[in-house]
Amino acid sequence: PGSPSGHAMGAAGVYYTMVTALLSAAMGKKRSRTLKYWVLWTVLWTGFWAVQVCVCLSRVFIAAHFPHQVIAGVISGMAVAKTFQHIHSIYHASLRQYLGITFFLFSFAMGFYLLLRVLGVDLLWTLERARKWCAHPEWVHIDTTPFASLLRNLGILFGLGLALNSHMYLESCRGKRGRQLPSRLGCVVASLLVLHLFDAFKPPSHMQLLFYILSFCKSAAVPLATVGLIPYCVSQLLATQDKK
């Protein structure tokens, strides 16, 4: 099993960011902490830890991780979220920087993998053991390999860079229309539908190279659609209705 737990780390990082952002907005510019603020603080952090406990228990229950791995995942997820809250340059990164980081991470991972192979270390040894000893070898999926996870993450990073630096995203951010409730609700509903369609698409696993390429493209298409394409289409649709 992976250490620390990726599920626990991801859940902790995402929900920690959401909770702290909501509390910061509730505090306002005056930074005043009223009774309503403390009630919201209690509700949000109680919900946060309830989610973390559920995620950790589920991973331990299905024997995917040991207890110390899920605990380390929660701590590391919160640490990553807290660290990136103070790195403001990520909000203004150019497409060239996104491409450079994506290429660097891929090159570093491949170089490190080849170095370990030269030293006689195979990072995919658990995959071979699982296929050999599992009662149902067909249940061992290729999407659990380190390369599949790497390409999914790189695809998301690449797609996010394309979306944030696209004309569609810049156009959808103009004016106050994108901040209005109808626009946000439309984006949420459309994004959920599109994500459901993406989730239904399963790349063929009989060819590893094709699977990795399609996984990268699928992961890149998700932020490109939800961050760039959908907000642009919703803003254009609302603008057309306003003109009528």
Phi, psi of 5 (to 5 degrees): -65, 125
Whether the pLDDT of residue 93 is over 60: the answer is: yes
Could you tell me which residues come within 8 angstroms of residue 23 by beta carbon, excluding any fewer than 6 positions away? 37, 40, 41, 44
What confidence tier does 1 reach under pLDDT thresholds 50, 70, 90? Answer: low
User: Helix, strand or coil for residue 207?
Assistant: coil
Q: Which of 67, 86, 105 is the last residue of a domain?
A: 86
- For residue 65, indicate whether it is catalytic: yes
Q: Which of 52, 67, 86 is the last residue of a domain?
A: 86
pLDDT tens digits, 181-216: 778 888 899 999 999 999 998 888 788 889 999 999
Residues 49, 125 within the same domain? no
Q: At what angle do helices 208-223 and 181-200 cross, to 10 degrees?
A: 170
pLDDT tens digits, 16-70: 999 999 998 888 776 777 888 899 999 999 999 999 999 999 999 987 788 999 9
Could you tell me which residues come within 8 angstroms of residue 162 by beta carbon, excluding any fewer than 6 positions away? 95, 98, 220, 223, 224, 228
What confidence tier does 170 reach under pLDDT thresholds 50, 70, 90? Answer: confident
CA–CA separation, 150 vs 162, rounded Å?
A: 18
Helices (H), 64-206: 67-84, 95-118, 125-133, 146-164, 167-172, 181-200
- For residue 141, indicate whether it is catalytic: no
* pLDDT on residue 244: 62
Q: Write down the catalytic residue from 65, 68, 141, 206.
A: 65
Q: Which of 86, 102, 126 is the last residue of a domain?
A: 86
Could you tell me which residues come within 8 angstroms of residue 71 by beta carbon, excluding any fewer than 6 positions away? 8, 56
Range of the domain at 66: 1-86
Count of domains observed in the chain: 2
Task: Supply the DSSP string of 51-75, one letter for each residue.
Answer: HHHHHHHHHHHTTSS-HHHHHHHHH
Using alpha carbons, list the distances in angstroms from residue 229 to 124, 144, 169, 204: 37, 29, 7, 26
